[in-house]
Amino acid sequence: MTDKEKNDINLLQTGYRFTPSNVGLEAGEVATYLAAVGSDKRLYRDDNVIPPLAVVARALKALFDEIDLPAGTLHIGQGVTSAGVIQSGDQLTSRAQVKRRQQRGKLDMLTISFEIMNQRQDTVMTGETSLILPGAEAAE
Amino acid sequence: MLELAELREGMELPELEKKVTQENINRYAAASRDFNPIHLDPEFARQAGLGGTIAHGMLILAYLADMLTAAFGQSWLSDGRLSVRFRTPARPGDTIRVSGKIHRVEKDEGKTVIICEILCANQADEAVITGDARLEVSDT
C-alpha cells in the first residue's frame, strides 16, 4: 500500500477491519532480528523456531502501513498471547480490527486487536496494540 | 532454564542486561521494516523534539521476551502472555536491565499457571517498560 492509499486514522472507528496481511519472515530477516536483540537462544538458532515478537513487529508494520499516523502518535501499550510455537516456513496471516476508540481530552486512545493464523488456519498468536493519537484539533 | 518444581512466589528471574546501540536499532528497523526516522535519523529526531533517536519500543520488549524464553523455554513460546506499557523511550547508549519476579504460582487442573511482574529499566533506574507475563506449564 502506498502513502496515497493510507487511511486517515480519524476515520477508523470501532469495528474497522484492516486488510489481512502476510506476516511471515524469511530466514535472513530472523537472523537480523536476533542480531538486533542480541539473542543466541538455541531454540531460534537450531530448532527453526521464530521469535513471536518478530512476527508481532511485522504485524504492526502491516497495520501502520495502512493508516496515516499523525506526528506525535505514541505506542503506549502492547499485549501478546502465544497459542502455538511458530516454525520457520510457516505461512502467517494477520487479521486486525479497531477494538476500541476513546477520547480523553484532546487525545484519542486507539486499541487495535489482532490475530495471527498459520497455513492450517490455527491461531498461533493474538494481541492488542494501544496507541495515543493527538486529537484532530492538536494534529492540525 | 528454570525447573517447574523450583518456582516460588517472590522468586526473581535471571536478569539480562542489554546495551542499546544505534547499530542494533538499525538492524531492528531492517528486520521489522519499521524505518520511521525518529529511530534512524538523529537530526529528524531532534527536530521532532526527542533530543536524538530513540529505540523502537518493540526492540526493548524483545529483550523482555528473550529473558522469558531463557527462563521458561518453549513453554513461554507456546503458551505465554505479555501485557506491557511503554513508559519512557530508550536511547542509543542506554543500558537496559531486564528483570522479572514471580508474583503468583497457581495449580489448575494438571497445569501450573505462573504470573510474573516484568520490568525494563535504564541506567538511571527509570522504568522503560512495565507489565506482567503469564504462562501455563503442563505438570506432566
Size of interface A-B (CB pairs under 8 A): 114
Residue B29 — very low, low, confident or very high, per pLDDT cuts 50/70/90? very high
Q: Which of A34, A78, A90 best probes binding to B when mutated, by most B CB atoms within 10 angstroms?
A: A78
The tens digit of pLDDT for each residue in B60-85 reads 999 999 999 999 998 899 999 999 99
Q: In this model, does residue B130 exceed pLDDT 60?
A: yes
The tens digit of pLDDT for each residue in B82-117 reads 999 999 999 999 999 999 999 999 988 889 999 999
A26 touching B (Cβ < 8 Å)? no
A9-18, A45-54, A83-92, B125-134 — most confident range: B125-134
Q: In this model, does residue B5 exceed pLDDT 90?
A: no
d(CA B75, CA A85) in angstroms, rounded, equals 9
Which residues in chain A are closer than 8 Å to B94, comparing Cβ atoms? none
DSSP 8-state symbol, B115? E
Instruction: Output the 3-class SS for chain A.
Output: CCHHHCEEHHHCCCCCECCCEECCCCHHHHHHHHHHHCCCCHHHHCCCECCHHHHHHHHHHHHHHHEECCCCCEEEEEEEEECCCCECCCCCEEEEEEEEEEEECCEEEEEEEEEEECCCCCEEEEEEEEEEEECHHHHC
Which residues in chain B are closer than 8 Å to A62, comparing Cβ atoms? none
ipTM for the predicted complex comes to 0.93
Q: In this model, does residue A140 exceed pLDDT 80?
A: no
The closest of A80, A93, A68, A58 to A130, measured between CA atoms, is A80
d(CA A46, CA B69) in angstroms, rounded, equals 15
Q: Which residue has the cell 502506498?
A: A2
d(CA A137, CA B14) in angstroms, rounded, equals 46
Q: In this model, does residue B118 exceed pLDDT 80?
A: yes
Q: In what order do the strands lie in the sheet with B111-121?
A: A21-22, A93-104, A107-117, A123-134, A74-82, B80-86, B127-138, B111-121, B95-108, B16-19
**pLDDT confidence of residue A135:** 65
Determine the average pLDDT of the residues in A106-125: 94
Q: For chain A, what percent of residues have pLDDT higher than 70? A: 93
**pLDDT confidence of residue A1:** 52
Q: In this model, does residue B23 exceed pLDDT 70?
A: yes
| Prediction pTM value | 0.93
What is the SS3 assignment for B29? helix
Q: Which residue has the cell 492488542?
A: A128
